[in-house]
Amino acid sequence: MQAKTSLILLLFLILASCCHRTEKGYKETNVCHVDSIISLYKDSMLSQPVQMKNLLFDNRKGVSDSISYYKLTVFAGLCCYHNYQTDSAFLLNNEALAFCLRQDSTKPRIAELKAYAYNYLGIMLQETNRRDSALVCLLKAYHALSYADDRRKLPDICINIADNYAQSGDFPEATYYYRKALFASDSLNMGEQLNHAIYCGMARIYADIDNYSLAEHYYKLAEKAFDRISPYEQFFFANTRGNYYYITEQYAQALPWFYKANRISLNFKKQIYRAITDSNLGEVYLLLGKPDSALHYLDKANKYFSASNPDESTVFYFNGLYASLALYQNNLKKAEELLSQPYDTATINPTYIYLHNKRMEELYAKKGDFRKAYEYDKKVQSYNDSIRNTKAINYIAEIDSRYRQDTTLLKRDILIAQNQTQALQFRNISILLTSILVIFIMAVILTVIYARRKREQRYVKQMATIIKLRMENVRNRISPHFIFNVLNVVIPALRPYDELVKPLHLLVQAIRNNLLVSEKIAITLSEEIEIVRNFLDLKQSINKEFPTIKWEMAEKVDMQTLIPSMIMQIPIENAIKYAFDSYKEGNNNSLTIKISETNEMLSIYIEDNGTGYNPDRFANSAKGTGTGLKVLFRTIDLLNTKNQQKIEFKIENLGTLSTELHGTKVSVIIPAKYNYNL
């Protein structure tokens, strides 16, 4: 009887064990099935969100394991988000989170689900510009994963945290988490496909702090995996690579990358990705001087953002781009209208405000309101100084962050936990080494700046010498002393010939004037006018059929104002040489010289109604070599390097401004307190 009872008990235990194993095996099969579905269709959730959501809901019906059920719910919510169903996305994600919060969060599978839910909630919050809330969720996901058995999601979460810090401008923390992601990826042997996102993020940060050599290094590492990453990652990389070339002002290289991102975005249901690349293409075409292409892409991007209830910052951004286009086309009225729109500085990206100030400076400069242009220039320079200071701080902080993450310091942290006395010693060593590193970097920077300034000074001196030599070459093709002396001897012998004496006297006077100013960089306005008048009298005495000369002088012009020598004579001489094909009577040929002084600026305008400015037309002409204008331009460029307020020298072909006009207009704007000392 006892033996039978023992046998029955043994059979019962075996049966119970089998039933338990069957239930456990079913559960494990269920879990593996769900994980396989998610792994298989994860990349399709962005391009086919509706189909993937339906697939996940269908599979959820047959799942008995609660954790697997809510895992499918989290990914179904992500599909809703990619399909613009934001409310449904948050609702599904919150259902999964509510389930996790009711459970023991230290259990590995619950911790894993919680990490997934918080991670995707953080992504959705971040893409809707709620970065602070997103960061809280992402950090919760990071801590939750520490209790999970499967840590393969750790690099992704670290990347998302790093992206959040990078968007907030906290680059040291961003690089800290990118390096954590890289360390986790290498430890878990997850391959270069995941490392691509890390390298791309690192490259973006180094580009933002102007460390372009390291940025280029990481972009090249990221580019190796381009063909093996998902379409979303390809879009992100192509757009980021284009932005890198935009930041470094390599606009031609930026264009193909933005085009590549634009083509990839055609596969996405969310049109915002296409609109982003359209706006980037529009801005690059504008910078490349192709207004038609710029307008095409800007209109496409603006059409999308206008229909999606854009925030004030987006409207401000597009108004700025359209204003730049109007400024490029000299449509000052439209540019002023766009730039004069009211805005709240608290809601606008500081970079957009900086670009706005640059456009306002350009607008007022083109309108001739140099006082306001100067005010906006000061705002631009103030922003530049602030950005440089911020980048320098971030650069030093990033170096310090890299140093803290060194393997030696990680080992040292373990020793610090074991021995408090040793911890203090290590801390002092760390501070000392960091200080030495900072001092070394500052010394290197100062050395580079000093060497650069020395080179610049040497360059300026060499250019000054070249300009002097070229000016002497122009003025002394034939020895003016020799001609001057010969003419003084010949003129008394020609007194019986009245028609020859006056031109020769004028010629002598012209040579004398050239001799007086040949060694001067600057002369007074009255001296320059006298030289010009003598030259015009000489030309008119030789050729009676001469264009009409009109002098328009404002009343209150300081005739002792210094101006660059020959700045009026060379344009006037060129106008007489090239502007008029003939001096036939009835042509109404005229040359107008206007001089005025306003707002401590001397303005000189030389305008003719001739054939128009065409620098290539007389390139090989026997009338001249073109050296005068070249020397004049280079002299002004050299003088401008020594002055904050610049001389403006501009030559315009009036025929290009209006079909009803013809001729050339030379504009010269000279600040009253201009420094001519080289």
pLDDT tens for each residue of 561-577: 999 988 998 899 888 88
581 — pLDDT class (breaks 50, 70, 90): low
Task: List phi, psi (to 5°) of 137.
Answer: -65, -40
**Mean pLDDT score, 238-266:** 89
pLDDT at 139: 92
Query: Against a cut of 0.85, is the pTM above it?
Result: no
Whether 65 maps to a domain, the answer reads yes
**Mean pLDDT score, 306-320:** 81
Taking all residues of the chain, what is their mean pLDDT, rounded to a whole number? 78
Query: Which CATH number belongs to the domain containing residue 119 in this structure?
Result: 1.25.40
SS (H, E, C) 124-137: HHHHCCCHHHHHHH
Per residue in 547-561, pLDDT (tens digit) is: 888 999 988 888 899
Taking each continuous run of H as one helix and of E as one strand, the counts in the chain are 27, 7
Whether 414 maps to a domain, the answer reads no
How many residues in total does the chain contain? Answer: 678
- Maximum mean pLDDT: which of 287-301, 529-543, 606-620: 287-301
Which spans in 491-524 are helix H?
Answer: 498-517
| pLDDT reading at 649 higher than 90 | yes
- Maximum mean pLDDT: which of 10-24, 295-309, 395-409, 619-633: 295-309
Report the Cα 342 to chain-centroid distance in Å: 24
Q: Could you give the 3-state DSSP secondary structure of residue 651?
A: strand
Cβ distance 580 to 610 under 8 Å? Answer: yes
Domain that holds residue 141: 26-150
Per residue in 92-122, pLDDT (tens digit) is: 888 888 998 888 888 888 888 888 889 988 8
Among 150, 165, 184, give the residue marking a domain's end.
150
Residue 605's DSSP bridge partners are 594, 667
Nearest partner of 668 among 648, 653, 639, 645, judged by Cα: 648
pLDDT at 403: 45
Per residue in 597-607, pLDDT (tens digit) is: 988 899 999 99
- Residue 537: which residues within 8 A CB-CB, separation 6 or more? 506
pLDDT at 438: 92
Whether 542 maps to a domain, the answer reads yes
Domain count across the chain = 2
Whether 259 maps to a domain, the answer reads no
Q: Where would I find the beta strands (DSSP E) of 275-316?
A: none
CA distances from residue 419 to 414, 423, 429, 469, 641 in whole angstroms, order as listed: 9, 6, 16, 75, 61
Whether 266 maps to a domain, the answer reads no
| pLDDT reading at 1 higher than 60 | no
23-27, 417-421, 668-672: least confidently modelled range: 23-27
Tell me which DSSP letter residue 266 carries. G
394 — pLDDT class (breaks 50, 70, 90): low
pLDDT at 472: 60
| pLDDT reading at 253 higher than 80 | yes
pLDDT at 390: 55
> Exposure of 201 by Cβ count < 10 A (0-12 exposed, 13-18 middle, 19+ buried)?
buried
**Mean pLDDT score, 520-538:** 86
Nearest partner of 338 among 353, 360, 348, 323, judged by Cα: 323
pLDDT at 441: 92
pLDDT at 24: 43
Per residue in 322-378, pLDDT (tens digit) is: 888 888 888 888 888 888 888 777 777 777 888 888 888 888 888 888 888 888 888
| pLDDT reading at 9 higher than 50 | no
| pLDDT reading at 517 higher than 70 | no
**Mean pLDDT score, 176-184:** 84
CA distances from residue 355 to 228, 239, 347 in whole angstroms, order as listed: 37, 21, 15
Strand-pair category, 590-598 with 548-553? parallel
Per residue in 112-169, pLDDT (tens digit) is: 888 888 998 888 888 877 888 999 999 999 998 888 888 888 888 898 998 888 888 7
Nearest partner of 281 among 267, 263, 307, 269, judged by Cα: 263
**Mean pLDDT score, 578-606:** 81
Cα separation, 169 vs 167, in Å, equals 5
Query: Which CATH number belongs to the domain containing residue 647 in this structure?
Result: 3.30.565.10
Among 100, 132, 150, give the residue marking a domain's end.
150
Among 150, 178, 206, give the residue marking a domain's end.
150
Tell me which DSSP letter residue 659 carries. T
What is the percent of the chain where pLDDT is above 70? 77
